Amino acid sequence: MKIYVFGSSLTSCYWNGAATYYRGIYKNLRRLGHEITFAEPDIYNRQQNRDCSEIDYATVRVYQTPRDLEQVLSEACDSDLIIKHSGVGADDELLEAEVLRFNSAATRVAFWDVDAPATLARVEHDPSDPFRGLIPQYDFVFTYGGGDAVVKHYTDLGAKNCFPIYNGLDPDTHHPVPPDQRFECDLAFVGNRLPDREARVEQFFLGAAEKAPEFRFLLGGEGWGSKNLPTNVRWIGHVRTEHHNSINSSARMVLNINRESMAETGFSPPTRVFEAAGAGACLITDAWAGVDIFFEPGREILIATNADDVVQYLRNIPSEYARRIGSAMHNRGLRDHTYELRAKEVDVILQGAGRSAEVPVPLLNSAA
């Protein structure tokens, strides 16, 4: 199948949390025989901060906006499937409507939402939002997560279907490496400073650092430079993807903090959860509905409801036991949560739709 994709960026993770997800999904769809073209706008200095030197599984089309929009749209029209991702970052409303012009018996069109809570909140808060009326016109709606609540919400808005395709791990890129002195610490957290996340970072990470001055904390991600940080927190700025394994393999424990909307929605494990699993890290996560479907609390992952829980784990779990938790999470991730499995779910849906008007429920979604 010839697939043309509009997304934020495949080449750069700079201010682009979906990069790992895109790479895992599309690399493995290519391995299943699909031909991928990925169109991304040249915005937000992403091309100046590329972290993926070679992409051999997709043709990447970097375009200037709005100058090249008509050209990339015309390139997409002879594809078997056009995918418009949410959060492209430029001309989103225009693209949401324009890709549907090419919908035909030969070309199907999908909307793939990488931030369903934000998209759904947007159309609920503004009934006149143009996207609301477009939802029923898409042949497929895929989401980055969200479980039954997101599926129901989309179908209530008229979607023909809705399939959560969760984050996963790519064993080729997410794997254990030797510890790196630069990143050694007791607890590491990597995430950009965002309005939907900052209060939770203060609660779980910075709050734990204040309560446990005897431990070393490492903070990665953009935007934290102007933040008043506890003295035992070291900020290292933007973390390139090639350093994620090193951080996850060098910290005694790693912390995941979901954005507020993702935590409220549940069933939305971010990429960092599976990157940690790939590296065999001992992961503490803030509590959210559905975490136990992906990993077993206490044996494969640790759950925290506040900073006190985080501190208790740091003080009471010996390093050897932490390594056992990380190893168990690693094994579970390789068994149930690889991007190879996620891509097969997508392939089942697409191939089934090609044979019948009835779109099948994915067979391999271990978190469904």
Of 146, 187, 180, the closest CA to residue 165 belongs to 146
In Å, how far are 71, 155, 244, 252, 276 from 11, measured between CA atoms?
20, 33, 16, 30, 21
CA gap 205, 207 in Å, rounded: 5
pLDDT over 90 for what percent of the chain?
90
CA gap 275, 264 in Å, rounded: 22
Q: What's the rounded mean pLDDT across residues 241-253?
A: 96
CA gap 82, 97 in Å, rounded: 12
In this predicted structure, the answer to whether residue 368 has a pLDDT above a threshold of 70 is no
Dihedral sign, Cα of residue 131, residue 145, residue 194, residue 258: positive
Dihedral sign, Cα of residue 298, residue 182, residue 178, residue 219: positive
Which range among 63-72, 230-239, 357-366 shows the weakest confidence by mean pLDDT?
357-366
Confidence at residue 241, expressed as pLDDT on a 0 to 100 scale: 87
Q: What's the rounded mean pLDDT across residues 306-328?
A: 98
CA gap 307, 93 in Å, rounded: 40
| Confidence bin at 53 (pLDDT 50/70/90) | confident
Burial of 2 (0-12, 13-18, 19+ CB in 10 A): middle
Q: Per-residue pLDDT tens for 189-231?
A: 999 999 999 999 999 999 999 999 999 999 999 999 999 999 9
**What is the helix, strand, coil percentage profile of the chain, to 5?**
40, 15, 40
Residue range 2-168+338-355 in CATH 1.20.200.10: no
In Å, how far are 84, 260, 289 from 304, measured between CA atoms?
35, 15, 13
Q: Which amino acid, residue 94?
A: L
CA angle 297, 303, 309 (to 5 degrees): 135
Rounded mean pLDDT of the chain? 94
Q: Per-residue pLDDT tens for 121-148?
A: 999 999 999 999 999 999 999 999 999 9
In this predicted structure, the answer to whether residue 360 has a pLDDT above a threshold of 50 is no
Confidence at residue 181, expressed as pLDDT on a 0 to 100 scale: 97
- The more confidently predicted of residues 303 and 261 is 303
CA gap 150, 146 in Å, rounded: 5
| Domain-wise residue ranges, the chain | 2-168+338-355, 181-336
List the structure tokens of 202: 């203060």
Bridge partners for 190 per DSSP: 220
267, 367 contact by CB (below 8 A): yes
Confidence at residue 354, expressed as pLDDT on a 0 to 100 scale: 53
Architecture of domain 181-336: 3-Layer(aba) Sandwich (3.40)
- Sheet (strand 283-286) strand order: 233-235, 217-220, 185-190, 251-256, 283-286, 302-304
In this predicted structure, the answer to whether residue 234 has a pLDDT above a threshold of 60 is yes
| Confidence bin at 54 (pLDDT 50/70/90) | confident
CA gap 63, 195 in Å, rounded: 29
242 half-sphere exposure, CB direction, 13 A CA radius: 7
Confidence at residue 352, expressed as pLDDT on a 0 to 100 scale: 85
Q: Per-residue pLDDT tens for 280-309?
A: 999 999 999 999 999 999 999 999 999 999
61, 39 contact by CB (below 8 A): yes
Confidence at residue 52, expressed as pLDDT on a 0 to 100 scale: 83
List the structure tokens of 222: 């953009």
Q: What's the rounded mean pLDDT across residues 76-102?
A: 97
Dihedral sign, Cα of residue 264, residue 268, residue 269, residue 272: negative
Q: Do domains 2-168+338-355 and 181-336 have the same CATH topology?
A: yes
Q: What's the rounded mean pLDDT across residues 230-236?
A: 98
327, 278 contact by CB (below 8 A): no
pTM of the model: 0.91
| Confidence bin at 85 (pLDDT 50/70/90) | very high
In this predicted structure, the answer to whether residue 364 has a pLDDT above a threshold of 70 is no
